[in-house]
Amino acid sequence: MKSFFTTAACIITLAFICVSCNSNSSESKQEVAVPKDSSGRKWWKEAVVYQIYPRSFKDSDGDGIGDLKGIISKLDYIKNLGVNAVWLNPIYTSPNDDNGYDVSDYRNIMKDFGTMEDFNALLKGMHERNIKLVMDIVVNHSSDEHEWFKQSRSSRTSPYRDYYHWWNADRGKPAYRYSLFDINHDAWRYDSLTNAYYLHYFSRKQPDLNWENPKLRQEIYSMLKFWADKGVDGFRLDAFGFAAKDTTFPAWPSGFEKDFMRYYAMGPHLHDYLKEMNAEVFSKYDVMTVAEGTGNTLQDAHNLVDADRNELNMAYPFEAVDIAKKEGYSLLHFKQVFTKWDSTFADKGWLAVFLANHDQARMVSRFGNDKPEFRDLSSKMLNTFILSMRGTPYCYNGDELAMTNAGFNKIEDYNDVATLNEYQHQKNIGGDLKKFMENVMFSCRDNGRTPFQWDSSNNAGFTTGKPWLKTNPNYKLINAASQENDANSCLNYFRKMIKLRKDNAVLVYGKYTLIDKDNPDVYAYTRELDGKKFLVLLNFTGKNAIVKTGLDLSKAKVLINNYAATSITESLKPYEAAVIEL
Ligand code: NOJ
């Protein structure tokens, strides 16, 4: 599956897979009909995952960078959201070329974020509050400052040489490989020390690990066990779809990079690696595992996550998040994509449902409407959607407040390695930098990484120092403190919607049926389980809209409505959202 994030004129595509957890231990006491998939009920299917970008969440020591103590200080806030799992972006030692996605020590904590003692306290604090912790595992590549890479590059005969992909220059130049983050988009970097090229699908400081090497694989499994033994509850595998490679590095047709996912995702032996990882690690712990992407086809997705495959268990598909463009998007397309994924996974496998993460610009700016008159309504509508679909909802920090794109118009205000390198690339080739910046302002992932807006004090209460990335100037208006005591706030609506999901298994496991399919303005569907039937109505436009449900709504009970209406008709107000019991 794909994740795109646009940097300027080019769309960068990231492929990732979803990992599975092999937990058999959380069958519930309550009798609920579940999909035919033999895996049945699981805690991770019933969880609501809150994704925290640690660098931007809360700074405890005034250095301008979020940290673990900062997260600890906000555990009650997280608990009060009602979420029961947290996915933390990487917190390991890293030189931060790609904000922690370049790990130089997998068993230690990044200095900026704190210490292992802080981590232990965080995990304990989460568990005391019944919140599970999902770690981000970056093992398609490491940092070039990892000891393995330092050893590997030191000589052609180093025992670590085969931990990475090297091509000796005596053989000539290797066949072209596309790099997502390199200034020249060339994934082979020449290193004069041993007169050889190393492979890096991402930045030059992110050399790809060689999964063909069984020693490397054992190192990774042992590292996963290190964290599982500490008691973490899950793993999210970063970019793992890229891990398996044909190490003969054959030439690919010219222009392959325009469709590089076809070549990069689901390489040879990927399923073998996942089965091995499952047998060696996941099957031994009650952990949930999820990774990015689902390969190239729906069948790939099933092959990765169906319970009987013993690989992964939750597919994290990017097809839907990729359809939002600066010019807008078609709701018909959006509905078609979500409906296709749901029906493909109706009986087997399990899906993650999300509209944002740390690689995307803000949900309300991309899929809703961030103009003042519609921001709250459309944000509540989108959260109603995520939290009423079948699959495990993933909510990105700040989206509960309707945080918006900052849209900085100067390149100096950006930090993202992909954006900065692409800017340089466009400059080098004489590209249209004005157009590039227009795209960046709308879709750069730094829009989703500006500091969390806690209150109206300096820098949104995120830090007492200078924040590593500028705060969105709208923090005086949009912040958690001001929403806390407002019953109609986005924050309180989000809490209510989570409670509704947690109280009603129909929203987790119920059959999904799209209705009024060709309605270009309204997304309507029912969820059904054990004689219970809920109807979800979502007006995706800033005008009144009519929906034709074909259902008798006269006795319907409104369970939640973003206009606080207690009755419902087929005429919906702008961005109106409602969940109704029929
Ligand atoms: C996917 C991560 O989500 C993204 O943030 C990162 O830049 C790339 N993988 C490389 O690790």
pLDDT, tens digit (0-9, with 9 covering 90-100), for 456-501: 999 999 999 999 999 999 999 999 999 999 999 999 999 999 999 9
The mean pLDDT of 507-531, rounded to a whole number, is 98
Q: What is the pTM of this model?
A: 0.95
The CA-atom distances, in angstroms, between 346 and each of 43, 306, 579 are: 18, 12, 21
Mean pLDDT, the chain, integer: 93
pLDDT, tens digit (0-9, with 9 covering 90-100), for 175-203: 999 999 999 999 999 999 999 999 999 99
- Integer-rounded Cα radius of gyration of the chain: 23
Distance CA 551, CA 145 (A): 61
How open is the CA angle 541-547-553, to the nearest 5 degrees?
130
Q: Report how far ligand 1's centroid is from the alpha carbon of 98 (Å).
A: 8
Residue 464 makes CB contacts below 8 A (sequence gap 6+) with: 59, 62, 458
pLDDT, tens digit (0-9, with 9 covering 90-100), for 13-70: 333 333 333 333 333 344 566 665 545 899 999 999 999 999 999 999 999 999 999 9
pLDDT, tens digit (0-9, with 9 covering 90-100), for 292-350: 999 999 999 999 999 999 999 999 999 999 999 999 999 999 999 999 999 999 999 99
Residue 230 makes CB contacts below 8 A (sequence gap 6+) with: 119, 120, 123
The mean pLDDT of 215-242, rounded to a whole number, is 98
User: Which 3 state secondary structure label does DSSP give 79?
Assistant: helix
Residue with CA at minimum distance from ligand 1 atom 6: 101
Residue with CA at minimum distance from ligand 1 atom 4: 359
Per annotation, catalytic residue among 98, 286, 292, 422: 292
Residue 291's pLDDT is: 81
Q: Report how far ligand 1's centroid is from the alpha carbon of 356 (Å).
A: 14
Q: Is the pLDDT of residue 239 over 50?
A: yes
Residue 113's pLDDT is: 98
Query: Is 238 a catalytic site residue?
Result: yes
Which residue would you say has higher pLDDT here, 29 or 426? Answer: 426
Residue 71's pLDDT is: 99
Residue 576's pLDDT is: 98
Residue 485's pLDDT is: 92
Share of the chain above pLDDT 70, in %: 93
Residue 278's pLDDT is: 98
Residue with CA at minimum distance from ligand 1 atom 5: 359
Atom of ligand 1 nearest to the CA of 98: 7
Q: Report how far ligand 1's centroid is from the alpha carbon of 164 (Å).
A: 18
Closest among 368, 319, 301, 343 to 514, alpha carbons compared:
343
Q: Report how far ligand 1's centroid is from the alpha carbon of 3 (Å).
A: 10
